[in-house]
Amino acid sequence: MSIKNPKFLKNLSNDELEQLSADIRHFLIQQLSKTGGHIGPNLGVVELTIALHKEFDSPKDKIIWDVGHQSYVHKILTGRAEQFDTLRQYKGLSGFPKRAESEHDVWETGHSSTSLSAAMGMVIARDLKRTNEYIIPVIGDGALTGGMALEALNHIGHEQKDIIVVLNDNEMSIAPNVGALHNILGRLRTAGKYHWVKDELEYLLKKIPAVGGKLAQTAERVKDSLKYFFVSGMFFEELGFTYLGPVDGHNFNDLFENLRYAKKTKGPVLLHVITKKGKGYLPAESDKVGTWHGTGPYKIETGDFVKPKNTAPSWSGLVSETVRKIAREDKRIVAITPAMPVGSKLEGFREEFPDRMFDVGIAEQHAVTLAAGLAQAKMKPFLAIYSTFLQRGYDQIVHDVCRQNLNVFFGIDRAGLVGADGETHHGVFDIAFLRHVPNIVLMMPKDENEGQHMVYTALKYDDGPIAVRYPRGNGLGVPLDKQLKEIPIGTWEVLKDGSDVCILTFGTTIGMALEAANELEDRDLSVRVVNARFIKPLDEQMLHGIFSENIPVLTIEEAVLQGGFGSAVLEFASQHNYEHAKIKRMGIPDTFVEHGSVTKLLKEVQLTKEAAIDSILTLTPVKEKGMNYG
């Protein structure tokens, strides 16, 4: 596609727009079959995106995409179609709005429920500067369940400033939506064109001869009661919005009619648009569980996903299935997810224990405190949550869980670099923001066998909050012990002995550390490799031993350096007066890492075997084999 900007849309007829919609769907299906990406959400917003760009003047008018995975059509219409071969690839087109990519991307979103707050900020700035642009946040019905979105709705309704909120209602976020607000939207979907009914009603009431105040008051009461009759629980109108819709999000006549009505309406407007997620591609259109929300490459003809052959279990599956196994014996175990039952592989748990599995929607703060409440009542809550989304519940971790020392088990999924989703989704901050909070135990396994034992350890632990980090993707394929066992809290293990240098690492970087140590043996350098599986508490007994031997230490972590595991080792050395200790740290530098394959990203941040060897060589002199050192 050779589109440069959206101006060409102004002169197209509806028939031509229908053809453009078909062309864009064909383009998306073809391109995403090669690169993967968020196909379901984008196939659903083709007509809506075209209508917005035809009716408004981006970038003067600000179109803000909540959870930017629905912005691919926007990217095509703003001149980036030719870059779609690079979508979500290293140094390529981002899968989310990116301000550096285009002036049309006015807000960056990878997490949900932020668009309304950002839009309100832009509205206030517009009014203070006395400019006249439209501000149009586009938010999904799933994202609308997030607490931050509801806070913003409350503020927008109070301020009564001009803003057009487009509610893209496809009845799903990633997985099927849950909650009372979802049920309200369900009633609205079946209510017909509410605002037209309301206008007709007002017109008829005005024709009643106004004989005395009582009749006027009666008319108002009739109008209000009929409003509630036609649309049960007019949630948005009570918040101060003019509610328009529901509107068929695939019908240009309806879209343009309502967008123009919205532009003429003073104060906040909520335009409720009904779309079909995956529209135009049968496998995605018929998806009911979220499989086609975001995918890797696939075969267009069959809808089969192209996946590398890997017999090892996924990390998410290993953890959730181990929890499920233990839950058969311990009826206190309850599983919680903030809208990620598929990603966190909790379908099996939900099927076996439907009354002990709770999907709370996109509400991470609530999920954390819900778990705290369960723990206070002596249950055993397991909160399966991506590292990047755990950030959103940080105050609840500190205030509600750790401060009360409640026995919540956090399963921190997607820990480390995650690849194509990029900087909004990398799980690289959780060590730094959890390690300094009192009472919490934080661990990460070297392989899936140790992983299942860590899950067992976490569920047997009774002394406060405990967390297991695990990466995206599949395990190593190691054999799994049949008998689960507890790992003593705060204990590390030596994987390879050595006397010249010691590497302290854990999780995904252990393999790289062992390779570096083995290569250095060819230079007569003896490198000890320690599986520092407990990030908090540290194995203080082992650390005292290492520093007493005066062995240089290299710490390696696939996480940010500031406040991370290496910082903990430095703090230990300082606290215990090991002033001559030689410590070097490897980790992610003080920057946001963009998208790309994990291998390329690790190379970019210098978390490689070669970098580990170079770091070790700066810590200790090296002897080359065959040389005479007499």
What residues are labeled active site?
Answer: 277, 364, 392
Q: Are 573 and 583 in contact (CB under 8 A)?
A: yes
For the sheet with 583-588, list strands across it. Answer: 493-496, 527-531, 501-505, 553-560, 583-588
Q: Are 97 and 53 in contact (CB under 8 A)?
A: no
Tell which residue, 135, 123, 71, has the closest CA to residue 98: 71
| Surface-to-core class of residue 428, CB atoms within 10 Å of its CB (0-12 exposed, 13-18 middle, 19+ buried) | buried
For 519, the token pair is 């290569």
- Among positive and negative, which fits the CA dihedral 424, 430, 436, 440? positive
* Rounded CA separation 70/54 (Å): 18
Question: Cα dihedral angle (441, 400, 337, 412), rounded to 10 degrees?
Answer: -20
Cis (ω within 30 of 0) for the bond into 381? no
For 449, the token pair is 């066998």
| Surface-to-core class of residue 159, CB atoms within 10 Å of its CB (0-12 exposed, 13-18 middle, 19+ buried) | middle
3-state secondary structure of 223: helix
Buried b (16+ CB within 10 A) or exposed e, 171-206: bbbbbbbbbebbebbeebeebebbbebbeebeeebe
Contacting residues for 456 by C-beta, under 8 A, at least 6 apart: 322, 326, 484, 485, 486
Tell which residue, 488, 502, 561, 553, has the closest CA to residue 530: 502
Q: Are 506 and 536 in contact (CB under 8 A)?
A: no
DSSP secondary structure letter of residue 629: -
Half-sphere exposure of 102 (CA within 13 A, CB side): 26
Half-sphere exposure of 342 (CA within 13 A, CB side): 15
For 3, the token pair is 């589109």
- The two beta strands, 357-359 and 380-386, are unpaired
- State how far the alpha carbon of 451 is from the alpha carbons of 290, 305, 475, in Å: 27, 27, 9
3-state secondary structure of 250: coil
* Rounded CA separation 72/80 (Å): 9
Q: Tokens 């997030």 — which residue? A: 146
Cis (ω within 30 of 0) for the bond into 537? yes
Q: Tokens 């099996």 — which residue? A: 348
3-state secondary structure of 47: helix
| Surface-to-core class of residue 377, CB atoms within 10 Å of its CB (0-12 exposed, 13-18 middle, 19+ buried) | exposed
